[in-house]
Structure 1
Amino acid sequence: MRTRLHFETVIIGAGAAGMMCAAHAGGSCLVIDHAKAPGEKIRISGGGRCNFTNLYASPENFISGNPHFAKSALARYTQWDFIDLVARHGIAYHEKTLGQLFCDHSAKDIIAMLLAEMKNADAALELNTSVSRIAKSPQGFDLDLGDGRKISATNVVIATGGKSIPKMGASGFAYDIARQFGLPVTETRPALVPLTFPDGRFAPLAGVATPARIHNARASFDEAMLFTHRGLSGPSILQISSYWREGEEICVDLLPGIDLFERLRTQRQTGGRRNLTTELAQVLPTRLVDHLAHFMPMGGNLADQSDAALKALQHDLKNWRITANGSEGYRTAEVTLGGIDTDALDARTMQSRSVPNLYFIGEAVDVTGWLGGYNFQWAWSSGWAAGTAIAAA
């Protein structure tokens, strides 16, 4: 750490939002993190390639108690702004499905870019350092570090994320600080997380994946679904988990975009002796067909099936209703749903309305994105909003 004891800005958390904020805050800025390396969530994201934003990012892709709160930051620092930053640093990237952008080489390229931006802004970084106490003071804030050192700051930015992936050091630190200063915190839950089912019912199907439309009364997603030893995962399940509650039924359409009735009726005319399950295996994984045959009528040949029977089968496969008994929790959740109540924050600056010069950004705030680069975009946008507000003050 620099020899000075007072900083204009201290940012707690060297993740995506914290580093982005440091790159724009200006003045004397110190970023503190208890981890041994910055941007650990960035490093592991996207299979090591970092799905750093989404071409279609908009406020509609975020969940919050106030759906309007994210609009300001997202509109003023967009996905196109971050893409321009990536391009300026010469980082090669590519688009996968649904507008998701990934690094060609490594997620470490994004971390290196952010560190370079921090260096250009003359922001300092101290790792392996914890903060044990934050208190209001006449000059702003007094902070006690875990090793006994004391520093002060005019501005404090909390960028420590949520509770997801505790093995990486995630905790409720941001919520504790918010409550300490009288800011409300909404209910927090694991989000973008696999769902679990009792009795290992899907264990025999572990590893099987299939396209599916997963929906409930609040949302619907068309992406792959993956069976696991503990239950269900894959993009469509992770997406619906953010809109799901324990004990709630979800509906699975195993035939998105497929008119099974017309397909089987046509096949019946030319191949009536073919087994029904054999035909179903042309549109669904064989192991899944075998599993479903235990509780859906799939016996006999095509010639044995009436139009009514085929329509009923199509209905069952497009409306497979299942009830998860839980999720894998914060251990594997990609993000945390809920957080610092947005009513307590200024949407343009991310500053507390009641505590001047105290800011909350990124995952700690009650703004949660869909799977596909949206949560990183919120980190970039909210970090930029706080950083530029601090620089302009």
Structure 2
Amino acid sequence: MNETYDAIVLGAGAAGLFCAATAGQRGRRVLLIDHAPEPGRKIVISGGGRCNFTNLHTAPDRYLSNNPHFAKSALSRYTPADFLALVESHGIAWHEKTLGQLFCDGSARQIVAMLLDECARGGVVLRCGVELGDVTQADGLYRVPHGGQVASAPALVIATGGPSIPKMGASGFAYDLARRFGLKVVQPRPALVPLTLPADEALFRELSGVSTEIVARCGEGKKSPAFREAALFTHRGLSGPAILQISSYWKRGDTVTAQFLPDRLDGWLRVLKRERPRLSFRKALGDGLPERLAEALCGRLGLEGELGALTDKALAAAEARLMRWPFVPDGSEGFAKAEVTVGGIDTAELSSRTMEAKRAPGLYAIGEGVDVIGWLGGYNFQWAWASARAAGLAL
């Protein structure tokens, strides 16, 4: 059976659903296809089941891409306030957590239901749980075999995401399809992912489950990224929001530094020595750190005893080390644990205004499959909405 549409959207995740709804409500006949049995699977598990659906502090400098300017157009034309207005129009209660992160009061499924309702308003035809055949293009039409049928349309949108969280059905399909139509792909790698430590850092593995606030950095110089949030020691290495954030910038061989006790002023140990000379070095650290971590750091620093018995030089060296404690990860926990993907379809191949491929008329790419990745905390959902809106308005 052959069917003809104005546009076919591949992938019923955040970007695909919103793009299909946008185009459908503009009068386009849209087919939305996904191999998963139900739409929005990643949305459902996001934000601990409550969906961190946007971030109030969204700005282009909070995104990574080979072209840092690419995301500006879409993000400026569809903002967090725009999406929040949509959420409120559906009666979904929400709240702000830290750092501008917005979550549903109830369930992430409310966002999926909202997007499906928007699709229904646009008359979108949704088919889930169907396998795709080879996608081809001829005579100005893209042909998509699926579930024993063949659909064709002059426009095809790649919204299948990246390979992060493969247990949810994620794959590199978007990249394969882009390459088939001549588009370049920036080498993908896991992002927002826990980092693993080599065997010589085994001492810290004994701290599995211990968490503390740090400033995490990667690289040198004033422009090197820095994130002040919690870090979590795991049996394999480092995790927690600060580490997930810095992992997007980390490359093999890079040193990640942790600033412990970030509120302490320069010289604080020497001041404390003069004020409380009989205080032990371990207790001085334990005043602001979990006990097990303070003990481990004391062991690594090789300092014991009362502050008054330690030289100012030794205390200054300890302060410097605590300010930039170096870790050299030997890898990450990979796409299986990554929330998103760095890299993807090269933005040089796409129009920043419409997301259409420059060398393949009628072919669009949106969402995580594109070489644009945001910080942790709702930024990637906002990119999904903004890029989807840009394409949906152009279809």
TM-score bracket for the superposition, by shorter chain length: over 0.9
Query: Alpha-carbon deviation of 1:134?
Result: 0.9
**Structure 1 counterpart of 2:281:** 276
Query: Alpha-carbon deviation of 1:280?
Result: 1.1
1: CA distance, partners of 2:279 / 2:342:
49
Counterpart amino acid of residue 372 in structure 1: G
**Structure 2 counterpart of 1:304:** 309
Counterpart amino acid of residue 246 in structure 1: R
1: CA distance, partners of 2:297 / 2:355:
50
More off after superposition, 349-358 vs 4-13: 4-13
CA pair 186-270 structure 1, distance change in 2 beyond 3 A: closer
2: CA distance, partners of 1:292 / 1:269:
22
2: CA distance, partners of 1:14 / 1:238:
26
1: CA distance, partners of 2:9 / 2:336:
25
Counterpart amino acid of residue 250 in structure 1: V
Secondary structure of the corresponding residue to residue 187 of structure 1: strand
Counterpart amino acid of residue 173 in structure 1: F
**Deviation sequence 1:61-118 (CA, Å, 0-9, x none):** 1001111111110000111100111111111111111111111111111111101111
**Structure 1 counterpart of 2:334:** 329
2: CA distance, partners of 1:267 / 1:329:
43
**Structure 1 counterpart of 2:33:** 32
| Structure 2 residue 367 is the aligned partner of structure 1 residue 369 | no
2:203/2:296 contact within 8 Å kept: no
Picking from 244, 255, 265, the partner of 1:259 is 265
2: CA distance, partners of 1:198 / 1:53:
35
CA pair 234-10 structure 1, distance change in 2 beyond 3 A: same
2: CA distance, partners of 1:245 / 1:60:
19
**Structure 2 counterpart of 1:202:** 204
Secondary structure of the corresponding residue to residue 80 of structure 1: helix
Query: Alpha-carbon deviation of 1:266?
Result: 4.5
1:164/1:332 contact within 8 Å kept: yes
Query: Alpha-carbon deviation of 1:201?
Result: 4.1
1:32/1:130 contact within 8 Å kept: no
More off after superposition, 225-234 vs 25-34: 25-34
**Structure 1 counterpart of 2:44:** 43
More off after superposition, 186-195 vs 244-253: 244-253
Picking from 330, 341, 347, the partner of 2:346 is 341
1: CA distance, partners of 2:304 / 2:263:
24
Picking from 216, 219, 222, the partner of 2:218 is 216
Query: Alpha-carbon deviation of 1:139?
Result: 4.4
Secondary structure of the corresponding residue to residue 314 of structure 1: helix
Picking from 241, 248, 260, the partner of 1:242 is 248
Query: Alpha-carbon deviation of 1:19?
Result: 0.3
Counterpart amino acid of residue 74 in structure 2: A
TM-score, normalised with respect to structure 2:
0.95
2: CA distance, partners of 1:205 / 1:260:
27
1:202/1:230 contact within 8 Å kept: no
Secondary structure of the corresponding residue to residue 136 of structure 1: strand
**Structure 2 counterpart of 1:19:** 17
2:9/2:20 contact within 8 Å kept: yes
Query: Alpha-carbon deviation of 1:202?
Result: 2.5
1: CA distance, partners of 2:211 / 2:218:
20
1:67-106 counterparts in 2 under 5 A?
A: 67-106=68-107
**Deviation sequence 1:110-132 (CA, Å, 0-9, x none):** 11110111111111111101212
Picking from 229, 234, 253, the partner of 1:228 is 234
Secondary structure of the corresponding residue to residue 205 of structure 1: coil
1: CA distance, partners of 2:374 / 2:123:
31
Number of aligned positions between the proteins: 386
**Structure 1 counterpart of 2:157:** 157
1:201/1:231 contact within 8 Å kept: no
Query: Alpha-carbon deviation of 1:36?
Result: 1.1
Gaps of 5+ in 2: none
1: CA distance, partners of 2:353 / 2:208:
46
Secondary structure of the corresponding residue to residue 177 of structure 1: helix
**Structure 2 counterpart of 1:172:** 172
Query: Alpha-carbon deviation of 1:140?
Result: 1.2
Gaps of 5+ in 1: none
**Deviation sequence 1:164-184 (CA, Å, 0-9, x none):** 011111111110011100010
| Structure 2 residue 6 is the aligned partner of structure 1 residue 8 | yes
2: CA distance, partners of 1:120 / 1:290:
60
2:351/2:358 contact within 8 Å kept: yes
**Structure 1 counterpart of 2:133:** 132
| Structure 2 residue 186 is the aligned partner of structure 1 residue 181 | no
1:142/1:151 contact within 8 Å kept: yes
C-alpha RMSD over aligned residues: 1.4
Counterpart amino acid of residue 304 in structure 2: G
Counterpart amino acid of residue 12 in structure 2: A
**Structure 2 counterpart of 1:358:** 363
Identity %: 52
1: CA distance, partners of 2:203 / 2:109:
39
